[in-house]
Structure 1
Amino acid sequence: MSMPSKVVLGWREWVALPTLGVGAIRAKIDSGARSSALHVDDQWRFSERGAPWVGFRLTPAHAGEAIECTAPVVDERTVVDSGGHGTLRVFIRTTLRVAGVEREIDINLTRRHGMAFPMLLGRTAMVKAFTVDPARSFLHGRAGPPVRLHVVSPDPARPHP
């Protein structure tokens, strides 16, 4: 019985988060990291029908315009960074598109100022679909054209920070 082949990614790729309105963002593909992380400029918490939600703002470097989104909180846990520092982070679930593959992933929201990549794609997002060739990069081009703002909220009157 043969295993289905996995898509090969380079150590850095353009990815899209279409549910969040992000048509293309540079991501470091990091099999050493368990979880995926997304740089946000600002985030705020609120409740929607008694459930925890998060609002956040991000600015993909190539887009120039800030994107504001809201999403239900799927988890909140301590993440230890490469320097050994633990911080409590909010996790959301969103659609990832890379190399023609779309899948739902969990991603934590954090401030990644000073990092070369606004997104880190960790191994839980890659399992059973992707493998990494660390000698290559940007194998699949941009994930798609930038998408205009799409707010993920059941209520158009979203709270402000």
Structure 2
Amino acid sequence: MTAKITVGWREWLSLPELGIEKVKAKIDTGARTSCIHALNIEEYEVDGEKWVKFITQPLQEDEETQVVCNAKVKKKKHVTSSGGQKELRYFIETTLHSGKYSWPIEITLTSRATMKFRMLLGRTAMENRIVVDPALSHLL
């Protein structure tokens, strides 16, 4: 059995395939899916496949820093938010990178403008890889 990565309740992550060098994520064992702050989501096609273009503002309290991202759509389905509201979201797959670790994750696109963290890392992305120590931060 491979040893699991210990993380704190918040970590700096990178999503290099999306051009996101750093984003502070809340490690959320209560959330099944991961999500990232996304604005101006536009769907388009490439060779008959659905893609999305969106803007993210990866840094908390910094609306000036923006990254334009493009990703292939994995699926589109309803997700129930922490407030209990259903929202139709795009799901994409990308590589998460932090410290010396990298692995593919599924992530949804949604506005997190009113939230403190621009990204949540949910249980599905952590499964069989991560153990969370809620007393600590920024271990990676």
Please indicate, yes or no, whether the TM-score normalized by the shorter chain is above 0.5: yes
- Structure 2 residue identity aligned to 1:53: W
Please report how far the alpha carbon of residue 61 of structure 1 lies from its aligned counterpart in structure 2 after TM superposition.
Answer: 2.0
Of 50, 53, 67, which aligns to 2:51? 53
Please report how far the alpha carbon of residue 136 of structure 1 lies from its aligned counterpart in structure 2 after TM superposition.
Answer: 1.0
Instruction: Tell me the residue number matched to 2:116.
Output: 116
Structure 1 CA distance, aligned partners of 2:139 and 2:71? 30
Structure 1 CA distance, aligned partners of 2:42 and 2:66? 15
Instruction: Tell me the residue number matched to 1:131.
Output: 131
Instruction: Tell me the residue number matched to 1:21.
Output: 19
Contact 1:75 1:92 in 2 (8 A): yes
Structure 2 CA distance, aligned partners of 1:136 and 1:9? 8
Instruction: Tell me the residue number matched to 1:37.
Output: 35
Q: TM-score, normalised by structure 1?
A: 0.81
Root mean square deviation of aligned Cα: 1.3
Q: Residues 97-117 of structure 1, C-alpha deviation per residue, up to 9 Å, x if partnerless?
A: 123210011100000011110
Share of identical aligned residues, percent?
Answer: 43
Count of matched residue positions in the alignment of Structure 1 and Structure 2? 138
Instruction: Tell me the residue number matched to 1:103.
Output: 103
Instruction: Tell me the residue number matched to 2:75.
Output: 75
3-state SS of 2:94 partner? strand
Contact 2:10 2:26 in 1 (8 A): yes
Instruction: Tell me the residue number matched to 1:86.
Output: 86
Structure 2 CA distance, aligned partners of 1:131 and 1:67? 30
Unaligned runs of 5+ in 2: none
Contact 1:29 1:121 in 2 (8 A): yes
Q: TM-score, normalised by structure 2?
A: 0.93
Unaligned runs of 5+ in 1: 141-161
